[in-house]
Amino acid sequence: MSHRITLIPGDGTGPEIVAATCRAIEATGVEIEWDRREIGLPAIARYGTPFPPEAIESIRTNKVGLKGPLTTELGKGFRSVNVALRREFDLYANLRPAKTYPGVRAPMGNVDLVVVRENIEDLYAGIEFDLGTPELATVRAVIEQAGNTKIREDAAISIKTISEMGSRRIVKFAFEYARANGRKKVTAVHKANVMKFTDGLFLRVAGEVARDYPDIEFEDRIVDNMCMQLVQKPELYDVLVLPNLYGDIVSDLVAGLVGGLGVAPGANIGANGVAVFEAIHGSAPKYAGQNKVNPMALMLAGTLMLRHIGERAAGDRLERAIAAVVAVGKDVTYDLKPNRDDPTAVGTREFADAVITQLAAVHA
Ligand code: NAD
């Protein structure tokens, strides 16, 4: 069966890493019909909007997207396309696996973690009140009265919201992911000792959801302690589930543990089955068109995508092929060489060629 997938090339170095990734995915033998759509800067140039309705409809229909990085500075009047995508499809789960691959310089030994970050709520809901606005004065007055407290007049205010529904679905997502991927433990990360109502709610709901998954161990950690433990003994952890803000910070910490954003894949998954796979890094515009940057993070996102569409064996094979190329360390891009000026570093296309050759060898 052929899979129809929306392909968003992105901008900057996006089109190059997307082309390399598509070739590697196709080399697994899985039949894919790419439905190519522009979003972001290229879409503004062509359609006058960063978010053309045809692209949205394509994602809605195909339900799966592979996306190159998008430059977020779009100019006046346009909001971030990444945020717009998240909102449009209620992409509430941000999935960020982080694994050490031999050959990638990483400060820690053997790390194999999955961070599941809630993507919609928390301090990131955008409920903010700026200094000098009448809204700030209104909100401050209400809070002072309801909370029987005093807020300084020179303070701006951001509101943190965490709901039962939002917490339940993200924790359920983490457990379902753990079960489907042979993971043993889910750790809920919070600061419920201080934020008793919002993080307290998240922790309570996490405990309730955990009771439906007796086959998977459950525990919780306070976020500051979690950060220290991740740096000292990351091997103790498996799947982490976090509200939005802690998830944002901890997922980058964890990416750092395994070698940085250049090798970190991600996925944004929504309530209605829509899933968009991408690299964590940005569009690296200074290298655009130079056949220079590393496509590994997007290729790893491709392995997540293959598993998501039911092509688990192909996803596993692609991951093994990428790992083999990186472990040898010969046909790799500049960022994976011990010395970044190493003249033997290959380009984006040649890295893909090496992965494809490796796939064929594994296949033979
Ligand atoms: P960036 O990740 O694009 O690049 C920072 C630096 O990291 C680059 O100059 C390069 O040295 C290195 N780098 C990044 N990706 C690499 C790769 N694949 N291989 C080798 N080296 C790589 O970060 P930035 O410069 O802060 O962001 C550029 C644009 O991308 C901004 O507009 C930003 O908002 C956007 N962005 C988009 C996404 C997304 O679409 N998901 C994510 C992050 C940033």
Determine if ligand 1 sits within 6 Å of the CB of residue 88. Answer: no
Residue 311, CA distances (Å) to 68, 205, 239, 285 in order: 21, 32, 22, 32
Instruction: Count the neighbouring beta carbons within 10 Å of the beta carbon of residue 90.
Output: 15
User: Which pLDDT score is estimated for 16?
Assistant: 97
**Ligand 1 center from residue 263 Cα (angstroms):** 12
112 is catalytic: no
313 assigned to some structural domain: yes
Q: Which of 257, 280, 313 is the last residue of a domain?
A: 257
CA of 276 from ligand 1 middle (Å) equals: 18
Pairing of strands 265-269, 275-279: antiparallel
CA 45 to chain centre: 27
pLDDT at 78 over 70: no
CATH code assigned at 222? 3.40.50.2300
Please indicate, yes or no, whether residues 288 and 313 belong to a single structural domain of this protein: yes
In a domain, 57, yes or no: yes
Copy the structure tokens of residue 211. 């009771």
pLDDT tens for 268-282 read 999 888 999 999 999
Rounded (to 5) percent helix, strand, coil in the chain: 45, 15, 40
Residues 233 and 295 in one domain: no
132-138: which pairs have CB atoms within 8 A and are 24 or more residues apart? none
List the structure tokens of 344: 């033997």
Question: CA-CA distance, 351 to 353, in Å (whole number)?
Answer: 5
Q: Which position among 196, 224, 233, 330 bears the catalytic label?
A: 224
| pTM recorded for the entire structure | 0.93
198 lines ligand 1 (CB under 6 A): no
Q: Are 56 and 18 within one domain?
A: yes
- Nearest to 32, CA basis, from 21, 40, 42: 21
Question: Residue 291: which of 354, 350, 332, 229 has the closest Cα?
Answer: 350
Nearest in space to 25 (alpha carbons), one of 269, 291, 355: 355
- Residue 243 has phi, psi (to 5 degrees) of -65, 170
Structure tokens at 188: 């809920």
Give 181's DSSP letter.
Answer: T
Q: How confident is the model at residue 72 (pLDDT cuts 50, 70, 90)?
A: confident
Q: What percent of the chain has pLDDT over 90?
A: 85
Indicate whether 71 and 199 sit together in one domain.
no
How many C-beta neighbours within 10 Å does residue 65 have?
25
If asked whether residues 111 and 231 sit together in one domain, one would say yes
Domain that holds residue 241: 107-118+162-257
86 and 44 in a common domain: yes
Q: Is residue 239 part of a domain?
A: yes
| Domain endpoint, select from 231, 257, 283 | 257
| pLDDT band at 116; cut points 50, 70, 90 | very high
How is residue 191 written in tokens?
A: 């600061």
The tokens describing 156, both together, are 């701006």
Q: Are residues 156 and 199 in the same domain?
A: no
Verify whether ligand 1 is closer than 6 Å to residue 252 (CB atom).
no
Look up 160 and say whether it is catalytic.
no
Q: Are 149 and 285 part of one and the same domain?
A: no
E strands along the chain, which residues? Answer: 3-8, 32-36, 64-67, 93-99, 112-118, 128-129, 157-158, 185-190, 217-222, 239-242, 265-269, 275-279
- Number of residues written out for the chain: 364
How many domains in the chain? Answer: 3
Residue 102 resides in a domain: no
Of 63, 172, 191, 292, the catalytic one is 191
pLDDT higher than threshold 70 for residue 9: yes
Residue 69 lies in a domain: yes
Q: For residue 268, give the DSSP letter.
A: E
Q: What number is the average pLDDT over the span 103-110?
A: 84
Strand partners, 36: 7
Burial of 11 (0-12, 13-18, 19+ CB in 10 A): buried
Helix (H, G, I), strand (E, B) or coil at 33: strand
* Model pLDDT, residue 73: 74
pLDDT in tens, 285-323: 999 999 999 999 999 999 999 999 999 999 999 999 999
Closest CA to 68 of 250, 257, 266: 266
291 CB within 6 A, ligand 1: no
Beta-carbon count within 10 A of 57 CB: 12
CB of 82 within 6 A of ligand 1: the answer is yes
Type of residue numbered 169: R
Give the tens place of pLDDT for each residue, 255-267: 999 988 889 999 9
Residue appearing with tokens 């190493």: 342
* Residue 242 forms part of a structural domain: yes
Q: Are 111 and 225 contained in the same domain?
A: yes
Segment 29-39, tens digit of pLDDT: 999 999 999 99
- Alpha carbons 43 and 75: distance in angstroms, whole number: 13
Nearest to 82 by CA among 297, 283, 292, 294: 283
State whether 311 and 364 are in the same domain.
yes
Q: Is 330 a catalytic residue?
A: no
- Distance CA(266)–CA(301), nearest Å, equals 6
* 80 CA from centroid of ligand 1 (Å): 15
Cβ(167) – ligand 1 distance below 6 Å:
no
Regarding whether 208 and 111 lie in a shared domain, the answer is yes
> Is 101 a member of any domain?
no
Is 23 within the bounds of a domain? yes
- Best of 16, 66, 105, 283 for a ligand 1 pocket test (most atoms within 8 Å of beta carbon): 283
Domain boundary among 257, 285, 320: 257
For residues 207 and 304, state if they share a domain.
Answer: no
Q: Which amino acid is at 277?
A: F
Question: Is 342 among the catalytic positions?
Answer: no
Question: CB of 293 closer than 6 A to ligand 1?
Answer: yes
